[in-house]
């Protein structure tokens, strides 16, 4: 029975590690999609004149501020995606 316990522990650790990684990836993907979609919405509203530049700037600063619940990689990737889109060159994205 003593030999069985280390093997069981190793199996348990092996099976739970991918779940933690998948959960982290799911969280990053969720926030990336949320931030990108929200950023596109603000930029489109600015582009068609429903938001002033000042309002769009305020919204985007608030949207992309650092938050302990939001993975930094998701914030960076969403901002990079918006910054690289030619349609949103004039959008006031925060640095």
Q: Which of 68, 78, 89, 86 is nearest to 39 (CA)?
A: 78
Instruction: Answer yes or no: is 73 within a domain.
Output: yes
pLDDT along the chain (95 residues), means of 10: 49 47 82 97 97 97 95 96 95 93
Instruction: Answer yes or no: is 7 within a domain.
Output: no
| Residue 52 belongs to domain spanning | 18-88
The sign one gets for the Cα dihedral 52, 57, 58, 62 is positive
pLDDT at 21: 53
CA-CA distance, 37 to 41, in Å (whole number)? 6
Contact 31, 70 (CB under 8 A): yes
Integer Rg of the chain from CA: 20
pLDDT at 9: 44
Cα angle: 44, vertex 58, 66; to 5 degrees: 105
Instruction: Answer yes or no: is 1 within a domain.
Output: no
pLDDT at 12: 47
Instruction: Answer yes or no: is 95 within a domain.
Output: no
Instruction: Answer yes or no: is 13 within a domain.
Output: no
Instruction: Answer yes or no: is 72 within a domain.
Output: yes
Looking at the 3D structure of the chain, how many domains does it have? 1
Instruction: Answer yes or no: is 94 within a domain.
Output: no
Instruction: Answer yes or no: is 4 within a domain.
Output: no
The model's pTM is: 0.74
């Amino acid at each position: 029975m003593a030999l069985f316990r280390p093997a069981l522990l190793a199996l348990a650790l092996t099976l739970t590690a991918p779940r933690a990684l998948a959960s982290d990836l799911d969280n990053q993907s969720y926030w990336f999609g949320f931030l990108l979609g929200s950023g596109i919405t603000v930029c489109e509203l600015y582009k068609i004149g429903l938001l002033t530049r000042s309002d769009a700037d305020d919204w985007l600063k608030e949207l992309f501020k650092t938050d302990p619940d939001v993975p930094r990689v998701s914030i960076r990737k969403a901002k990079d995606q918006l910054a690289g889109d030619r349609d949103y060159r004039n959008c006031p994205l925060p640095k």
